[in-house]
A and B are shown apart, each in its own frame.
Chain A
Amino acid sequence: MRVISIMKIINNKEEVLGEVLEGIMFTQPDAYIRMINEFSYILYRKNMDDKKVKIIASGGAGRGPLFEGFAGEGLADAVVTGDFNCAPNAYALYDVARTIDRGRGILFLTNNYAGDYLNNDMAVELLSKEGISSGMVLVSDDIFSARGEPKDKRGGLSGIGILIKIASAAAEDGLSLEEVLRITQKANDRIRTAAVCMNDDLDLMEFGAGFSGEAPVITEKFQSADRLAESAIEKIMGELDSYQGGRIYLNVNRMRQMMYVEGYVVLMSLKRKLEKKGYSLIGASVGGYYDAYDANGCIISLLSADSELEKYIKPAKGYDFTI
């Protein structure tokens, strides 16, 4: 897989994922506890608020900050990954959940892939056998996966980062598990994401290519950031316009080869185009949250928020990013 083969400056592959967690803990002393599990990687926060629903985000490893870097105030209470590109096992999810639950329940957030779904679903069952309530939201923001099929068949990309902070804000508001689930599910219903990779040799922009080498769905000539923004907005808003009156939250995820400055250029192009079309914006973030694509390009997420969701959308800071 590309995500593994591209890694070069390492000592040996088996130690990489453990070093990520140890490194995160070293940079932020007293913030985390690492739980040892032979086949998964688990980090949870110290000093959590006992009176709230706990958020556990999980997925394949090695594409950080999602997921290794997403535990923190305003974000997830625990993050769990499996091996590179592999879901963590259900026992690891269950084990950290029962460790951090203080009676208000657990919300699992993961992208909608078979391995992630199966293991999170099993964790929910194992917890219920112990009387711990939990639920999961399967994030399906990628508009180019499972084309022509219902939204719940789609996979997830970097939109999960936004859903994590929404779930976290709702939980910190003291809401019940049922309410946090409902709000997070609503956010998933109203978020859409498009990945666009640059083909520099042919000067093309390729929409919807998968990070494991799946072919792009739509290819267009690259002209400018403005044109890229316009094209992305058309594809995404075509699905979101049914949510009338929604105000837009905007996120640009830089791929590995996209420059810091380009991220902001695309962000401002998106802002201008959206405003010109009459959409009202409530906030935005730019960063390298999801490091899956070894390409130049970006992943653009738009969320059409109603007034309830808007309450829970505010900047959240990880150690090395803001979303």
Chain B
Amino acid sequence: MKRLHVIKMKKMLENASRMIAANEPYLTEVDTAIGDGDHGTGMKRGFSALYKMLERQEFYEWDTLCGAAGIELVKSMGGASGVIFGTLFIGGIDRLPHESSCSLTEIADYFMEGEKAIERRGKAKAGQKTMLDALLPAVEALKKGADTGMEIEDAFFYAYNAALKGAEDSKGMESKVGRSKNFRESVLGLPDPGAISTSLIFKAFYEELVSR
């Protein structure tokens, strides 16, 4: 597929919400080992609120949908995660069309801008054991897909796998920013909870994209 309809994107966000909620115990387990243990419950609260909002509202344009999704996360999560995952959806909003369908190039640019906005705001870069370790490779895969004229499904397949690998790679990293930096070397061998959440979101996006 070369263009993605806003209704499908809405379903992808709903699926991401279900995926995060279902994985709350796992996220909590990982964050208890590495941070203050509230990442899982915070993410579940945010994405459950997002799911409810998507259920009761219709969307006709990409920018309206993604902006509302980001705001819902900021509103319901609080703390650092609310801002970070809210920024993922709001940061690149200017790259999206005020229309019902969207090209892969626009989608890739949108997520790339979101990633850059998180880097700026969080004063962080990939390689520091944060959600960026999953997000950056994922958006780079989308961008590569767009530049080489891939089908949207294929680009999201590569994005999901890149995010998964990124989350896995975060295990070997030392923490330099955020809460887990206080735990320093003891975090080696453990993945970053935010990177896992990010890979789950891209997994849900891909699975919904190829479902009938």
Contacts and interface: CB of A to CB of B under 8 A. Distances in A.
Asked if chains A and B come from one complex, the reply is: yes
Interface of A: 38-40, 82-83, 86-91, 114-115, 118-119, 121-122, 125-126, 129
Interface in B31-71: 71
B179 to A, nearest CB: 8
A30 B31 CA distance: 45
B79 A91 contact: no
A90 B79 contact: no
B76 A39 contact: yes
Contacts of A39: 75-78
Given A39-B76, A122-B121, A91 B71 contact: yes
A122 B76 contact: no
Contacts of B83: 89-90, 118-119, 121-122
Interface string B74-116: 1111111011101100100100000000000000000000000
Given A91-B71, A114-B178, A122 B86 contact: yes
Contacts of B71: 91, 126
B79 A115 contact: yes
A115 B80 contact: yes
Contact of B84 (A83, A89, A118, A125): A118
B123 to A, nearest CB: 9
Chain A CB count within 10 A is highest, among B78, B84, B87, B179, for: B78
What bracket does the count of chain B residues touching chain A fall in?
Answer: 10 to 19
Contacts of B84: 118
Given A88-B78, A125-B90, 20 more contacts: A38-B76, A83-B78, A86-B78, A86-B79, A87-B79, A89-B77, A89-B79, A90-B74, A90-B83, A91-B71, A91-B74, A91-B75, A114-B80, A114-B178, A118-B80, A118-B84, A118-B122, A122-B74, A122-B83, A122-B87
A165 to B, nearest CB: 28
Nearest to B71: A91
Contacts of A114: 80, 178-179
B86 A90 contact: yes
Contacts of A115: 79-80
A89 B83 CA distance: 8
